[in-house]
Amino acid sequence: MTQSPSLSEATSCVASHCELGEGPGWNANTNEVRWMNILASELHHAAADGSRHRITALARKTSYAALTTEGDYLLVAEHQLSRFDPTTGELADFLPFETNHSPATRSNDARVDTHGSLWLSSMGLNAEAGAGSLYRLHRGQLTRLMSGLSIPNALCFSPDGRYAYFSDTTTGQVMRWMLDADGWPLSAAGRYEAPEVWADLRESGGNPDGAIIDSEGHMWIALWGAGRVARLDHEGREVAHVTLPVSQPSCPLLGGESLDILYITTAYEGMPLSTSQAESTQNGNLFACDLSAAGIKGLAEPLLILG
């Protein structure tokens, strides 16, 4: 297993007990963190300190809520992208998503890029090999960038917008894709150029899951099964980490008023726990760790431009 300095241990911030917590985001206007419980079709919100936790039941398994320039959310869910007003609860279908795909799929990871476009992925409901795809939603138009993926994860972008990163979790590697001036993968002869292997995490003790980029351009990536979130430098080498008292971190977020609190969603999916047993543990909770002493800060979350 890769050894690196431990910056701290994250502690439970919200006892959310998510079977599959995912997709955290920070809303600077309301000073709230949001995240999803995918398998339970729930949207969670809480204040920066974990207080005022509330849960909104959704109609579909939803993996991400992208904050738009108009102040509402675009929900990324199985078979459908929808507009959702968190104030009124109004929901409106926006665009179908893999409605006729076989085997059946659901949405997985998603992230807004530096151009205000949404990258989103799908995977098989039972994680079938090669059933997933990677897409980009640009100004309301959905384009498939890649297919044949199993568990697409770790979507994030370099601060200068030159690179997109992603992982097919089953490979244990993080890929890097060079982008053009409009945020599309570079292409030649009508085809996208292949991404390159940027980080090899097969000896990390866990599987690469959700990821973000901090203000220094370093990646923070959840290592599912390893109970830690690793910080990778510009060459993809692990240089530090934060530990958790649970084994399945799913996605990090740098939020808080100064963007220096590391929030981490977790899960108890796949564990031999009943619902009552899961609720007596910290598995599935939202965790937090103050990184201000280390001088680490995040980047402001780009808003999704739909028109």
Residues acting as catalytic residues: 209
Known binding residue 22? Answer is yes
List, as one string, the DSSP characters of the chain: -----EEEE-EEEE----TBEEEEEEETTTTEEEEEEGGGTEEEEEETTS-S-EEEE-SS-EEEEEEBTTSSEEEEETEEEEEE-TTT--EEEEEEESTT-SS-EEEEEEEE-TTS-EEEEEEETT--TT-EEEEEEETTEEEEEEEEESSEEEEEE-TTSSEEEEEEGGGTEEEEEEB-TTSPBPEETTEEPPPEEEEE-TTSSSEEEEEEE-TTS-EEEEEETTTEEEEE-TTS-EEEEEE-SSS-EEEEEEESTTS-EEEEEEB-TTSS--HHHHHTSSTT-EEEEE-GGGT----PPPPBP--
Q: Are 298 and 259 in contact (CB under 8 A)?
A: yes
Known binding residue 78? Answer is no
Known binding residue 191? Answer is no
Known binding residue 27? Answer is no
Structure-token pair, residue 300: 């402001």
Count of positions (residues) in the chain:
307
Q: Which residues are annotated as a binding site for substrate?
A: 106, 108
Q: Which residues are annotated as a binding site for a divalent metal cation?
A: 22, 153, 209
Q: Which residues are annotated as a binding site?
A: 22, 106, 108, 153, 209
